[in-house]
Chain A
Amino acid sequence: MERSTLEHSGIQLEPNEDIITVVRRDLLIFFARLSFLIIGIFLPLFAIPFITPLIDQISNERGVTIFFVLYSFWFLILFLRFFYRWTDYHLDVWIVTNRRVFDIEQQRLFSRIISVFPLENIQDITVEMRGILATFFKFGNLHIHTAGDKQDLIIRHARHPMEVKEVLSRIQHEALEKK
Protein backbone atom coordinates (compact mmCIF):
# COMPACT_ATOMS: atom_id res chain seq x y z
CA MET A 1 0.00 0.00 0.00
CA GLU A 2 2.75 2.44 0.98
CA ARG A 3 4.60 1.67 -2.23
CA SER A 4 1.50 2.62 -4.23
CA THR A 5 1.42 5.92 -2.30
CA LEU A 6 4.98 6.60 -3.40
CA GLU A 7 4.33 5.47 -6.98
CA HIS A 8 1.25 7.72 -7.12
CA SER A 9 3.48 10.62 -6.06
CA GLY A 10 6.10 9.72 -8.69
CA ILE A 11 8.73 8.61 -6.14
CA GLN A 12 10.97 5.59 -6.69
CA LEU A 13 12.69 3.88 -3.78
CA GLU A 14 16.43 3.32 -4.04
CA PRO A 15 17.84 -0.25 -4.11
CA ASN A 16 17.91 -1.72 -0.56
CA GLU A 17 15.58 1.02 0.67
CA ASP A 18 12.74 -0.38 2.77
CA ILE A 19 9.67 1.25 4.22
CA ILE A 20 9.87 1.13 8.03
CA THR A 21 6.70 2.91 9.08
CA VAL A 22 3.89 5.08 7.77
CA VAL A 23 2.49 7.96 9.82
CA ARG A 24 -0.92 9.54 9.36
CA ARG A 25 -2.98 12.13 11.19
CA ASP A 26 -5.09 10.76 14.00
CA LEU A 27 -8.63 9.75 12.97
CA LEU A 28 -10.03 11.90 15.78
CA ILE A 29 -8.73 15.01 14.00
CA PHE A 30 -10.37 13.85 10.77
CA PHE A 31 -13.75 13.44 12.49
CA ALA A 32 -13.39 16.68 14.45
CA ARG A 33 -12.95 18.54 11.17
CA LEU A 34 -16.13 16.92 9.91
CA SER A 35 -18.33 18.15 12.76
CA PHE A 36 -19.95 20.79 10.52
CA LEU A 37 -21.02 17.96 8.15
CA ILE A 38 -22.84 16.17 10.98
CA ILE A 39 -24.61 19.44 11.89
CA GLY A 40 -25.41 19.93 8.19
CA ILE A 41 -27.05 16.50 7.95
CA PHE A 42 -29.42 17.00 10.89
CA LEU A 43 -30.14 20.73 10.80
CA PRO A 44 -32.56 20.67 7.80
CA LEU A 45 -34.59 17.88 9.44
CA PHE A 46 -35.52 20.24 12.30
CA ALA A 47 -36.89 22.66 9.70
CA ILE A 48 -39.46 20.16 8.31
CA PRO A 49 -42.46 21.53 10.33
CA PHE A 50 -41.72 25.08 9.16
CA ILE A 51 -40.73 24.52 5.53
CA THR A 52 -43.15 21.83 4.35
CA PRO A 53 -46.33 23.98 4.85
CA LEU A 54 -44.70 26.67 2.70
CA ILE A 55 -43.89 24.16 -0.06
CA ASP A 56 -47.43 22.72 0.28
CA GLN A 57 -48.89 26.10 -0.74
CA ILE A 58 -47.05 26.14 -4.08
CA SER A 59 -47.04 22.42 -4.83
CA ASN A 60 -50.57 21.22 -4.19
CA GLU A 61 -49.94 19.41 -0.84
CA ARG A 62 -46.74 17.62 -1.90
CA GLY A 63 -44.49 19.52 0.49
CA VAL A 64 -42.96 16.56 2.36
CA THR A 65 -41.95 14.70 -0.83
CA ILE A 66 -40.44 17.81 -2.41
CA PHE A 67 -38.63 18.61 0.85
CA PHE A 68 -36.99 15.18 0.83
CA VAL A 69 -36.03 15.51 -2.85
CA LEU A 70 -34.29 18.83 -2.05
CA TYR A 71 -32.81 17.32 1.12
CA SER A 72 -31.35 14.46 -0.99
CA PHE A 73 -29.55 17.02 -3.16
CA TRP A 74 -28.19 18.72 -0.03
CA PHE A 75 -27.15 15.31 1.34
CA LEU A 76 -25.30 14.58 -1.92
CA ILE A 77 -23.20 17.75 -1.47
CA LEU A 78 -22.31 16.71 2.11
CA PHE A 79 -21.59 13.16 0.94
CA LEU A 80 -19.15 14.39 -1.74
CA ARG A 81 -17.60 16.75 0.79
CA PHE A 82 -17.05 13.84 3.21
CA PHE A 83 -15.20 11.75 0.61
CA TYR A 84 -13.20 14.79 -0.50
CA ARG A 85 -12.02 15.28 3.09
CA TRP A 86 -11.38 11.56 3.51
CA THR A 87 -9.25 11.40 0.33
CA ASP A 88 -7.32 14.42 1.56
CA TYR A 89 -6.82 12.72 4.95
CA HIS A 90 -5.82 9.38 3.47
CA LEU A 91 -3.32 10.81 0.98
CA ASP A 92 -1.66 13.03 3.59
CA VAL A 93 1.07 10.72 4.74
CA TRP A 94 4.61 10.55 6.09
CA ILE A 95 6.62 7.54 5.00
CA VAL A 96 9.75 6.60 6.92
CA THR A 97 12.24 4.38 5.10
CA ASN A 98 15.65 3.20 6.30
CA ARG A 99 17.20 6.11 4.35
CA ARG A 100 14.73 8.97 4.10
CA VAL A 101 11.53 10.49 5.42
CA PHE A 102 8.92 11.40 2.79
CA ASP A 103 6.43 14.11 3.64
CA ILE A 104 3.49 13.92 1.22
CA GLU A 105 1.04 16.69 1.95
CA GLN A 106 -2.15 16.65 -0.07
CA GLN A 107 -3.41 20.25 -0.01
CA ARG A 108 -6.36 19.86 -2.36
CA LEU A 109 -7.43 17.04 -4.65
CA PHE A 110 -4.96 18.02 -7.38
CA SER A 111 -2.40 19.90 -5.33
CA ARG A 112 0.30 18.34 -3.19
CA ILE A 113 3.71 19.08 -1.74
CA ILE A 114 6.29 16.30 -1.49
CA SER A 115 9.39 16.82 0.64
CA VAL A 116 12.21 14.35 1.16
CA PHE A 117 14.43 14.42 4.25
CA PRO A 118 17.53 12.16 4.31
CA LEU A 119 17.97 10.50 7.71
CA GLU A 120 21.53 11.81 8.10
CA ASN A 121 20.20 15.38 8.00
CA ILE A 122 17.98 14.85 11.04
CA GLN A 123 19.48 16.60 14.04
CA ASP A 124 16.77 16.52 16.67
CA ILE A 125 13.24 15.19 17.09
CA THR A 126 10.71 16.85 19.42
CA VAL A 127 7.29 15.48 20.36
CA GLU A 128 4.56 17.92 21.36
CA MET A 129 1.37 16.60 22.96
CA ARG A 130 -0.93 19.33 24.21
CA GLY A 131 -4.28 18.96 25.91
CA ILE A 132 -6.42 16.21 27.43
CA LEU A 133 -7.57 14.71 24.10
CA ALA A 134 -4.03 14.51 22.72
CA THR A 135 -2.82 12.83 25.91
CA PHE A 136 -5.66 10.30 26.13
CA PHE A 137 -5.83 9.45 22.42
CA LYS A 138 -2.05 9.58 21.97
CA PHE A 139 -1.63 12.04 19.11
CA GLY A 140 0.58 15.09 18.78
CA ASN A 141 2.98 17.11 16.70
CA LEU A 142 6.34 15.73 15.75
CA HIS A 143 9.03 18.33 14.98
CA ILE A 144 12.00 17.00 13.05
CA HIS A 145 14.82 19.51 13.00
CA THR A 146 17.13 19.11 10.04
CA ALA A 147 20.58 20.38 9.16
CA GLY A 148 21.03 22.97 6.44
CA ASP A 149 18.69 25.60 5.10
CA LYS A 150 15.81 23.23 4.60
CA GLN A 151 12.70 23.93 6.63
CA ASP A 152 12.05 21.60 9.56
CA LEU A 153 9.58 18.78 9.05
CA ILE A 154 6.48 19.06 11.23
CA ILE A 155 4.09 16.14 11.37
CA ARG A 156 0.90 17.59 12.83
CA HIS A 157 -1.55 15.52 14.87
CA ALA A 158 0.41 12.35 14.19
CA ARG A 159 -0.83 9.06 15.59
CA HIS A 160 1.44 7.72 18.40
CA PRO A 161 4.20 10.35 17.96
CA MET A 162 6.38 8.86 20.75
CA GLU A 163 6.58 5.52 18.92
CA VAL A 164 7.43 7.31 15.66
CA LYS A 165 10.17 9.25 17.45
CA GLU A 166 11.65 6.03 18.83
CA VAL A 167 11.55 4.35 15.41
CA LEU A 168 13.20 7.36 13.78
CA SER A 169 15.91 7.55 16.45
CA ARG A 170 16.62 3.82 16.13
CA ILE A 171 16.91 3.72 12.33
CA GLN A 172 18.95 6.91 12.30
CA HIS A 173 21.32 5.37 14.83
CA GLU A 174 21.53 2.16 12.75
CA ALA A 175 22.19 4.15 9.56
CA LEU A 176 24.99 6.10 11.24
CA GLU A 177 26.54 2.91 12.65
CA LYS A 178 26.63 1.34 9.17
CA LYS A 179 28.60 4.34 7.90
Chain B
Amino acid sequence: MDIPLTTILWGLWFVFAGVWFIVTLMFQYHWSSYAKHDTVVTRAMIAYYTLSVFILGIPAILITSL
Protein backbone atom coordinates (compact mmCIF):
# COMPACT_ATOMS: atom_id res chain seq x y z
CA MET B 1 0.00 0.00 0.00
CA ASP B 2 1.47 3.33 -1.06
CA ILE B 3 0.50 6.08 1.40
CA PRO B 4 0.95 9.62 0.00
CA LEU B 5 3.61 11.68 1.75
CA THR B 6 1.17 14.51 2.54
CA THR B 7 -1.12 12.03 4.34
CA ILE B 8 1.78 10.89 6.53
CA LEU B 9 2.71 14.50 7.30
CA TRP B 10 -0.89 15.44 8.12
CA GLY B 11 -1.04 12.41 10.39
CA LEU B 12 2.09 13.61 12.18
CA TRP B 13 0.65 17.12 12.37
CA PHE B 14 -2.50 15.85 14.11
CA VAL B 15 -0.41 13.79 16.56
CA PHE B 16 1.66 16.84 17.51
CA ALA B 17 -1.43 19.07 17.66
CA GLY B 18 -2.96 16.52 20.05
CA VAL B 19 0.14 16.58 22.23
CA TRP B 20 0.03 20.38 22.20
CA PHE B 21 -3.64 20.34 23.22
CA ILE B 22 -3.11 17.98 26.18
CA VAL B 23 -0.02 19.84 27.43
CA THR B 24 -1.85 23.17 27.04
CA LEU B 25 -4.70 21.89 29.23
CA MET B 26 -2.13 21.02 31.91
CA PHE B 27 -0.46 24.44 31.67
CA GLN B 28 -3.84 26.15 31.71
CA TYR B 29 -4.75 24.41 34.98
CA HIS B 30 -1.77 26.07 36.68
CA TRP B 31 -1.80 29.39 34.86
CA SER B 32 -5.52 30.18 35.13
CA SER B 33 -5.47 30.58 38.93
CA TYR B 34 -2.56 33.04 38.68
CA ALA B 35 -3.58 35.01 35.62
CA LYS B 36 -6.01 37.31 37.47
CA HIS B 37 -3.34 38.68 39.83
CA ASP B 38 -0.03 37.88 38.18
CA THR B 39 0.81 39.93 35.10
CA VAL B 40 3.90 37.82 34.37
CA VAL B 41 1.69 34.74 33.94
CA THR B 42 -0.77 36.72 31.81
CA ARG B 43 2.07 37.84 29.51
CA ALA B 44 3.44 34.28 29.36
CA MET B 45 -0.01 32.99 28.37
CA ILE B 46 -0.32 35.60 25.61
CA ALA B 47 3.16 34.68 24.32
CA TYR B 48 2.38 30.96 24.53
CA TYR B 49 -0.87 31.12 22.55
CA THR B 50 0.48 33.59 19.98
CA LEU B 51 3.58 31.48 19.31
CA SER B 52 1.46 28.31 19.25
CA VAL B 53 -0.54 29.70 16.31
CA PHE B 54 2.70 30.10 14.34
CA ILE B 55 4.30 26.84 15.46
CA LEU B 56 1.24 24.79 14.47
CA GLY B 57 0.20 27.03 11.57
CA ILE B 58 3.49 27.12 9.65
CA PRO B 59 3.80 23.31 9.19
CA ALA B 60 0.11 23.18 8.20
CA ILE B 61 0.75 25.79 5.47
CA LEU B 62 3.90 23.96 4.34
CA ILE B 63 2.09 20.61 4.11
CA THR B 64 -0.73 22.22 2.13
CA SER B 65 1.83 23.68 -0.30
CA LEU B 66 3.36 20.26 -1.06
Contact = CB atoms under 8 A, between A and B. Distances in A.
B30 A91 contact: yes
A73 B59 contact: yes
Contact of A1 (B30, B37, B48, B52): B37
A5 B34 contact: yes
Contacts of A8: 30, 33-34
Q: Is the interface of B mostly helix, strand, loop or mixed?
A: helix
Given A72-B58, A72-B59, A79-B55, A87 B31 contact: yes
B5 A66 contact: yes
Given A4-B36, A8-B33, A68-B62, A83 B16 contact: no
Nearest to B9: A69
Given A3-B37, A8-B34, A62-B66, A76 B16 contact: yes
A66 B66 contact: yes
Contacts of A65: 62, 65-66
Nearest to A88: B30
Contacts of B12: 69, 73
A115 interface: no
Given A5-B34, A69-B9, A90 B41 contact: yes
B26 interface: yes
A80 interface: yes
Interface of A: 1, 3-5, 7-8, 59, 62, 65-66, 68-69, 72-73, 75-76, 79-80, 83-84, 86-87, 90-91, 109-110
